[in-house]
Amino acid sequence: MQAIRQIVETKKLKDLIDIPDDFSSETVEIIVFPMPSADAEKKQLNPEQFFGISHLEHIDQLLKSMRDEWEH
């Protein structure tokens, strides 16, 4: 993803965005990212893809073998 990054004086931004009067900085960093198009298809989370990914059997044995690796 491309982005544009610039340092800009806050007085130049007052016409574009609301900047509080008590904003303490005279310059700010602006980072601009492109918006995804409205036509872009949103990917839906499919929980079926992750089913069983964390299914562990014999956890005590697995933990013991991992600990034993450090001792040898």
Residue 60 lies in a domain: no
Residue 6 lies in a domain: yes
- pLDDT at site 38: 66
Residue 55 lies in a domain: no
Residue 22 lies in a domain: yes
The pTM assigned to this predicted structure is 0.44
Residue 15 lies in a domain: yes
pLDDT classification of 19: cutoffs 50, 70, 90: confident
Q: How many domains does the chain have?
A: 1
Please list, residue by residue across 5-22, b when 16 or more beta carbons sit within 10 angstroms of its beta carbon and e when fewer do. eeeeeeeeeeeeeeeeee
Residue 65 lies in a domain: no
Bigger pLDDT: 51 vs 10: 10
Q: Which two tokens stand for residue 24?
A: 């303490």
pLDDT classification of 4: cutoffs 50, 70, 90: very high
pLDDT, one tens digit per residue, over 35-71 is: 877 665 667 777 777 776 676 778 888 888 888 888 7
Residue 64 lies in a domain: no
